Amino acid sequence: MTTTSPRQALVIGASRGLGLVLAGELVRRGWRVIATTRRGGGELPVNSDASHGRLHIETLEMTSSEQVAALRERLDGHRLDLLFVNAAIDRGNLPIDEVPTDMFAEVMITNALSPLRVLEALRGLVVPGGTVAVMSSEQGSISRNTEDGYELYKASKAALNQLMRSYATRHTGDGHTKLLIDPGHNRTRLGGPDAPLTPQESIPAVADVLETQAGAPGLQFLDRHGRTVPW
């Protein structure tokens, strides 16, 4: 009789909100999960204690190349079925001409540049047929940008999508499924208190998409129902 090893995921940015719930949902489905947080405390250690060894915590400041390299070294020998990057910031609803240069750089580095640096650093841990995924947003869809507001955030997500397209082009044929995920508008610190969804409502659907799409070729930009989001 043979036994199958549990699937293993690395969730970058899991201290709260969507990432926290995603890590917990994958554990509930039988995955072993490595989850990163910028600092200690919060719900993640509590969830880890209750996971019977299936949820392991690593500390990571994603914008630090040195910390990303150190994480890669610590995880040497691990084999991932899923590498998921969930991290984003928003600095308010300013018209682009009022956005300070340092704010523009901060948002672009966090939301667009750093996720791709993480993918490049850690993609070697992903098994053939595994999935590399990034949490994007409908706000990054250029064709759906028909309402004003949140110009910097939208631009950062559009940049993320474009960089992920370049990543997919550069690594075509590597055997990895590549996904950009739009989880919908959720009541998180980023999404605000008036959003129509909670992470507990949206993330199980996101996990369904991740599991259903495993092994699919190429790059897809999908919502939580598995529907294509237009670029």
Listed in order, strand segments (DSSP E) in the chain are 8-12, 32-37, 55-59, 80-85, 126-135, 177-182, 219-223
Q: Kindly indicate the confidence band of residue 2, based on its pLDDT and cuts at 50, 70 and 90.
A: very low
Residue 191 lies in a domain: yes
pTM of the model: 0.94
The tokens 């996904």 sit on which residue? 179
Residue 157 lies in a domain: yes
Range of the domain at 164: 8-223
Please say whether the beta carbons of 12 and 62 come within 8 A: yes
129 in helix, strand or coil?
Answer: strand
Q: Is 94 exposed, middle or buried (0-12, 13-18, 19+ CB in 10 A)?
A: middle
Residue 113 lies in a domain: yes
pLDDT at 194 over 90: no
Q: Please state the domain count of the chain.
A: 1
Please say whether the beta carbons of 106 and 151 come within 8 A: no
Residue 218 lies in a domain: yes
The CATH number linked to 195 is 3.40.50.720
Residue 203 lies in a domain: yes
| Average pLDDT score over residue span 117-146 | 96
The tokens 């926290």 sit on which residue? 20
- What's the angle, vertex CA 192, arms to CA 187 and CA 196, rounded to 5? 45
Residue 28 lies in a domain: yes
* Tens-digit pLDDT profile for residues 43-102: 998 999 899 999 999 999 999 999 999 999 999 999 999 999 998 888 889 999 999 999
Residue 3 lies in a domain: no
